[in-house]
Amino acid sequence: MRQIREIMARAAGAQERLDEFVRVLASNMLADVCSVYLERSNGDMELCATEGLAAKAVHRTRLRPGEGVVGQVALKAEPLNVEDAPNHPAFSFQAETEEQGIVSFLGVPILRGGRLLGVLTIQNRTKRVYDDEDTETLQTAAMVLAEIVVAPELAAGGEVFDSIALRPTGEERLEGRGVADGLAVGRAVKHEPHVPPALLLAEDPDAEAVRLEAAIKRLRESIEALLEGRGSAIEGDSREILETYRMIAHDKGWLARLQDAVRLGLSAEGAVERVRNEQRAKLLSARDPYLRERLHDLEDLANRLLRHLGEARGYTFAAEETPEDAILFARTIGPAELLEQDLDRIRGVVLEEGSSTSHAAIVARALGIPVVGRIEGVLDRVEAGDLVIVDGAAGVVHLRPTTDAMETHQQRIEQRGERAAVFERLKDRPAVTVDGRSITLLLNAGLTVDLAQLDRTGAEGIGLFRTEFQFMIAEKLPRQGEQRTLYAAVLDSAGDRPVTFRTLDLGGDKILPYLQMDREENPAMGWRALRLALDRPALLRTQLRALIIAASGRELRVMFPFVTTAAEFSAAKARLIGELDWVARRGHEPPTKLEVGAMIETPAIAFEIDALLETADFVSVGANDLMQFFFAVDRSSPRLSDRYDILSPPALKFLKLVREGCARADKPVSVCGEVAGRPLEAMALIGLGFDRLSMPAAGVGPVKRLVLGLNARRVEAAMGELLESREPSVRGALQALAEEMGAPL
Ligand code: PEP
Ligand code: MG
């Protein structure tokens, strides 16, 4: 390994390095032959360097996958140890190599990041039984070789290497699911600890063994601390995963493989990387979902171990250097991890898993970073530095795009830029229809990063501030002081513009690992939002106090989520009033004005709206949840997402009923939820008489542009007829109307 390290350190040409590598390895392993085969772009294995076979065969001998014993190693990505190769069923004689009389064969795959780069072999003229130690040594050498092979010098190693697939080549168009809208072009970066080649090999194996042991000990301790330190707070899936981690961290096989690798000359980091590589290669061929899950666990654990090792060295295994225009690739990413990134450099995110309801997706949307999820195996098809296009709207990723694809996308990016410029010009114009109806456009927000959007979009206030985001991003329950700081910052940046704070909407798909919640069959209809808050008085109390104190001397608008009965709302409001007294007794100046509202998210409360509005000052229609329950369709199910249309007579009639209830009581009503930010849907809502719409930042510009071209009275009149239509959707009719009026959608 020392000699190999020297080869790596020496600045030499690609071929020279490979030649020297096989020479050193052959002599150290007492082999008559040592050869390196590398994969060509068509999948063939090409002999690229040899000690012992005829030199003229180099760059000439090529084997198809599965052809010969070398092809077998490549096909299965597993070591193959054959005492008598010429009699092996797969044996294929290559005359130009002059390999007559060579009988024993040991071959191992050259893997990097789970991807097969080639095959490394040793052979002997006499019958020789290679033992496990030989295989281990060869695998270790293959891992180091992989680093030599992908080094830029080899990639630029001259014509003979041109067709060698050292990195994935060629354009690939991969379809996943759009998780956060947007379009970006950039360079791939992998979000996983990466061991630089210089740290792979050890100076002193004994010292490395000690480092490895210490890191494993710390790893185990940290898992125990997670499992026990927080009491029984971790439940359900999180606990199950941690318990699996604990099991693996004590698994003898896993530890033995790590220790063996260190014994053979790798650094502790190198050992972890090697074992991780092999696991990845297995993962690629595993079909069984349970096995895949376990292999993922192993990988996560290896990453943790690398971080522990790095800490001890005072080294951070950051993802490979983050370029200015990074596209981040990860299996999955948490919201906190995403926020930890150098966000000025991240242009897009590609995930092997991930769904649009994931918390990271919500954060990415707030940051305006496009995300495409559910592209299995993408980490193995991309190399750091590859050019990538991420199309969050279409849910498509282009790896190594051709010039044509780049041009098309560049045009689309420019078109988007032009559109953004149009919206920017509309920013300060009031949203008033052609016939003089004023529409209030508000923002949905939840993170401090959203606040800048108020000025950027020209929204008139925040119609929905999702307070649970702060809780979802935190490692532990935010204290009253932390909550207060956030709320005060929101009010500060809103200035005169109104802000409606929604109290915690936890449960459903918004799970906090640190809060004990039982697993439910139907979490969306379970113990969530206001139900949970009413049952957990301390949680609600803390938040209400934080809100009241933050709004001291200013106006406070509080809204309760997921109200199902008027009585629930009254109970919640009573708590708020009670806390108002408590805060006043503590000497804080009270808010100048208090408005308390309810979200209409369940059909039940829509039919009790008169009673509700006797005590509520305003309501907001949470159309995401309301439609989920109206149509009985899971809002996070991608299969059903296009099945029912809010622009259908029954749904629109239902919304009208809510609007009329509010008109009877003369109380303001808004619509929040994603639909309010879509021009056509917004038009329908305006036609139903809604004049307050709260939406994601990206919706404000397009909706304002529409409003400016709309004749509200005409839309209202048309809606009257459309509500009686027998069509399953009135989308087409509304579109035609918008066109007739010249209102841009
Ligand atoms: C809704 O349900 O429409 C809503 C705005 O709340 P959330 O999307 O946070 O559930
Ligand atoms: Mg909701």
Q: How far is the CA of 22 from the centre of ligand 1 (A)?
A: 62
Ligand 1 centroid – CA 597 distance (Å)? 15
Q: What percent of the chain has pLDDT over 70?
A: 91
Average pLDDT over residues 514-532: 85
What confidence tens digit (pLDDT) does each residue in 314-334 have? Answer: 766 555 567 889 999 988 787
Residues 216-223, mean pLDDT to the nearest whole number? 87
Confidence of residue 152 (pLDDT cuts 50, 70, 90): low
Lowest mean pLDDT among 96-105, 304-313, 351-360: 351-360
pLDDT exceeds 80 at position 455:
yes
pLDDT of residue 537: 95
pLDDT at position 289 is 66
Task: Kindly report, residue by residue over 507-520, the tens digit of the pLDDT.
Answer: 876 777 677 777 78
**pLDDT at residue 278, as a whole number:** 78
- For 529-553, b/e burial (b = at least 16 CB within 10 A) is bbbbbeeeeebbbbbbbbbbbbbbe
Are 467 and 448 in contact, with CB atoms under 8 Å apart? no
Residue 609's H or E segment, with its range, is helix 609-615
Spatial CA neighbour of 360 closest among 451, 234, 472, 523: 472
Tell me which residues have their CB closer than 6 angstroms to ligand 1.
464, 466, 505, 601, 622-625, 672-673
What is the pLDDT, as a whole number, of residue 604? Answer: 98
SS3 call for 89: coil
Looking at per-residue confidence, does 297 or 541 come out higher? 541
Q: Taking the alpha carbons of 145, 147, 150, 151 in that order, is the dihedral positive or negative?
A: negative
- pLDDT recorded at residue 32: 96
Contact at 8 Å (CB) between 663 and 626? no
Q: Which atom of ligand 1 is nearest to the CA of 505?
A: 9
Give the CA distances from residue 214 to residues 183, 210, 217, 234, 264, in Å, rounded to whole numbers and listed in that order.
45, 6, 5, 26, 19
Q: Are 688 and 652 in contact (CB under 8 A)?
A: yes
Q: Please report the atom of ligand 1 found closest to the CA of residue 620.
A: 5
Q: pLDDT tens digits, residue range 26-40?
A: 999 999 999 999 988
Report pLDDT digits (tens) over 543-593.
Answer: 999 999 999 999 999 999 999 999 999 999 999 999 999 999 999 999 999
Q: What percent of the chain has pLDDT over 90?
A: 54
Q: Which of 672, 674, 675, 692 to mutate to test the pocket of ligand 1 (most atoms within 8 A of CB)?
A: 672
Select from 472, 601, 635, 671 the residue to mutate for testing ligand 1; criterion: most ligand atoms less than 8 Å from CB: 601
Q: Kindly give the distance from the C-alpha atom of residue 561 to the centroid of ligand 2, in angstroms, as a whole number.
A: 7
* pLDDT at 231 (0 to 100): 45
Q: What are the pLDDT digits (tens) for 641-694?
A: 778 899 999 999 999 999 999 999 999 999 998 899 999 999 999 999 999 999
Nearest ligand, measured from the Cα of 630: 1
Q: Which of these ranges, 170-174, 551-555, 567-571, 633-637, has the smallest mean pLDDT? A: 633-637
- Ligand positioned closest to the Cα atom of 627: 1
Q: Which of 310-324, 494-508, 563-577, 602-616 is predicted with the least confidence, judged by mean pLDDT?
A: 310-324
Which of 89-103, 242-256, 728-742 is predicted least confidently?
Answer: 242-256
What does the DSSP assignment read for 498-512? -EEEEP---BTTB--
**Residue 477 CA to ligand 1 centre (angstroms):** 22
**Residue from 358, 447, 466, 678 whose mutation best tests the ligand 1 pocket (most atoms within 8 A of CB):** 466
The reported pLDDT for the residue numbered 321 is 67
Ligand 1 atom showing the smallest separation from residue 468 Cα: 9
Looking at 666-730, list the stretches that DSSP marks H as alpha helix, in order from N- to C-terminal side: 679-687, 697-708, 712-722
Under the banding of pLDDT at 50, 70 and 90, the label for residue 153 is low
Q: Which atom of ligand 1 is nearest to the CA of 464?
A: 5
Q: Which residues are catalytic?
A: 359, 672
Mean pLDDT of the chain: 88
**What distance in angstroms lies between residue 521's CA and the mean position of ligand 2's atoms?**
18
Has residue 697 got a pLDDT over 50?
yes
pLDDT at position 190 is 87
- Of 7-21, 38-52, 399-413, 483-497, least confident by mean pLDDT is 7-21
pTM: 0.70
Name the band, by pLDDT with cuts 50, 70 and 90, for residue 344: confident
Q: Which amino acid is at 232?
A: S
Ligand nearest to the CA of 500: 1
Q: What is the mean pLDDT of residues 170-193?
A: 89
What's the average model confidence in pLDDT over 694-711?
Answer: 94
Over residues 358-375, the mean pLDDT reads 82
